[in-house]
Structure 1
Amino acid sequence: MELFDKVIDKLKELGIQYQLVEHEPALTTEQADLFIEGIEGVRTKTMFLTNKKKKNFYLLIMDDGKRLDMNRFAEIVEEKKMKMASEDSLFEKMALPAGVVSPFGLLNNEDHDIQVFFDKEIVDEERMSFHPNTNEKTIFVATPDLFKFIEAIGYQTNVIEI
């Protein structure tokens, strides 16, 4: 089954409504934003991070216009050093290529070993947008429904102030 179909099937199974926008492949966050200009919903960036020993993995979701203070995040999750996970780790853990990271990739994480964090700044937004395991589409989903999705597939959501 195609990774995108897996996302849609799970959303339907959970009764979660969504808005889907199809577009040419988005290679950057800026380009993705152009494809969805004028549609309501916070533009997110999802980062796949790991500790220095590549033993702990984190998915951090925040506003795409905000810069991550890596040291602050490391402090919050009680790690000494944090870094962006490699493309190999991303593929191994979520079966995704770089540039397509989103909470929907958690569907592919057989080990259930990724911790999920949201920046407090965006959790009160009505809707969020993500690539649904492909960079040729953007999906908008209500924030409470996104949390429902994540919890339904066996993950805890953590809200932090970055």
Structure 2
Amino acid sequence: MNAKEKKLYDILNLLGINYIRNEHKAVFTVEEASKLDIRIPGQHCKNLFLRNRKGDLHYLAILDETKHMDLKLLSKQIGSTSLSFASEERLHKYLGLKPGSVSPFGLINDIDRKVIVLIDRELTDKSIVNFHPNVNTATISVSYKDLEKFIKWHENKFYYIDIDNK
């Protein structure tokens, strides 16, 4: 376990957030994770680190792993200029993460609380949600309520979004 992961567990323990840790080989995409030979109960999520056209606003979108994110529709929904995926450099600068390990738990590295969190509203009724613990060699399961508790504790702005893939 590296220092980034340990720092997260220390904070989760401090907040009284229960989690279950599942170690696995490194995965970089949802598709790779689905091929793992382990069963992790709960809703698996994908996390997209985005920026607006000027690059002065950054967003972390959290959604069901099976959904597709239409960036044009999302930009209209949140009242933003066009959105695109942020660079690896921006991901490291704002969340201290590398591609393949993007997670809402990376917010602990967003000291200035610049990243705005966008949560798929459908996740709010899931009892368990799964994310990388800031490394892509493990997955942790937490209750949705505890995920929200963590985000509120860190004081990043967050909004619910509606992603309809029907």
Post-superposition shift, 1:121?
1.7
The aligned residue for residue 145 of structure 1 is: 146
Do structure 1's residue 7 and structure 2's residue 5 form an aligned pair? no
Post-superposition shift, 1:37?
4.3
The aligned residue for residue 58 of structure 2 is: 57
CA contact (8 A) 2:45 2:63 kept: yes
Give the % identical residues. Answer: 36
Task: List gaps (5 residues or longer) in structure 2.
Answer: none
Q: How many residues are paired up?
A: 162
Q: Which moved more, 1:98-107 or 1:75-84?
A: 75-84
User: Letter of the aligned partner of 2:159 in structure 1?
Assistant: N
Post-superposition shift, 1:153?
1.3
The alignment's TM-score, normalised by the length of structure 2, stands at 0.93
Residues 23-62 of structure 1: CA deviation (Å, up to 9, x unaligned): 1111221222333743221010000000011000001000
CA contact (8 A) 1:112 1:154 kept: yes
How many Å separate the matches in 2 of 1:91 and 1:107? 12
The aligned residue for residue 88 of structure 1 is: 89
The aligned residue for residue 109 of structure 2 is: 108
CA contact (8 A) 1:21 1:36 kept: no
How many Å separate the matches in 2 of 1:94 and 1:59? 10
The aligned residue for residue 47 of structure 2 is: 46
What's the C-alpha RMSD, in Å, of the aligned pairs? Answer: 1.4
How many Å separate the matches in 2 of 1:127 and 1:156? 22
The aligned residue for residue 136 of structure 1 is: 137
The alignment's TM-score, normalised by the length of structure 1, stands at 0.95
Query: For residues 111 and 36 of structure 1, do their structure 2 counterparts lie closer, same or farther at Cα, with a shift above 3 Å needed?
Result: farther
Post-superposition shift, 1:123?
1.4
The aligned residue for residue 29 of structure 1 is: 30
Q: Which moved more, 1:8-17 or 1:152-161?
A: 152-161
The aligned residue for residue 20 of structure 1 is: 21
Task: List gaps (5 residues or longer) in structure 1.
Answer: none
